[in-house]
A and B are shown apart, each in its own frame.
Chain A
Amino acid sequence: KNEVEQSPQNLTAQEGEFITINCSYSVGISALHWLQQHPGGGIVSLFMLSSGKKKHGRLIATINIQEKHSSLHITASHPRDSAVYICAVRLETGNQFYFGTGTSLTVIP
């Protein structure tokens, strides 16, 4: 069993749609990290959060510590949002990180 589960694994959306990617985890964490990996392989850190909500442009990340769940939302999706989105958690005790297997998003014009 993976400590971090993401859903869906694959997602195809029409340009302009509102997108939600989910991340559930089974361990106590001190922080959760959302990463974006572009088709060329480059990785961008989107958010690190330990509570509440963060917003950057069209991206919003929320976390519910009690429910051990985080969501990444993309408003007004665009083809350039096509990427793999990876959720990672930092353990509450110790310094280890666990990673989800990623959600592959394709936004069609």
Chain B
Amino acid sequence: DARVTQTPRHKVTEMGQEVTMRCQPILGHNTVFWYRQTMMQGLELLAYFRNRAPLDDSGMPKDRFSAEMPDATLATLKIQPSEPRDSAVYFCASGYATHRGSLEPQHFGDGTRLSIL
């Protein structure tokens, strides 16, 4: 059964440290999403890619966050420097969009639970 794989599952680090979260999308999917979920804000879309190109990153704080897709099998989300307010669960999801932009339901990873002390 194909799955979206996220690593690490949990991360605890001190503020100021760099954090890198990784996501392996389902093979064949051409769209990758990064979400953040907190108790206060709920679920938010940070950025998403289609065919490895960033389609929208308006939800992502640009000064400390960066998202990339070095290749079709890997998406990364980096925070540098990290702050306590970045503590959240970060989900990656992948899906397939047709050439007309119609998007099929997304498949979610299990998330990375990040705690910044």
Contacts and interface: CB of A to CB of B under 8 A. Distances in A.
B18 interface: no
A102 B48 contact: no
B45 interface: yes
Contacts of A31: 102-103
Say whether chain A's binding surface is mostly helix, strand, loop, or mixed. strand
A94 interface: yes
Interface of A: 30-31, 33, 35, 41-48, 50, 86, 88, 90, 94-97, 99-102
Given A41-B111, A47-B105, A48-B103, A99 B89 contact: no
B117 to A, nearest CB: 21
Given A31-B103, A47-B105, A95-B48, A42 B55 contact: no
Say whether chain B's binding surface is mostly helix, strand, loop, or mixed. strand
A99 B45 contact: yes
Contacts of B59: 96
Given A95-B55, A96-B59, A43 B103 contact: no
Interface string B75-95: 000000000000001010101
B105 A96 contact: no
7 residue pairs, one from A and one from B, having the closest CB atoms: A95-B56, A45-B105, A43-B108, A97-B45, A45-B106, A99-B43, A95-B55
A50 B72 CA distance: 28
B105 A99 contact: no
Given A41-B89, A94-B56, A95-B48, A88 B43 contact: yes
Contacts of B101: 30
Given A45-B93, A94-B56, A99 B108 contact: no
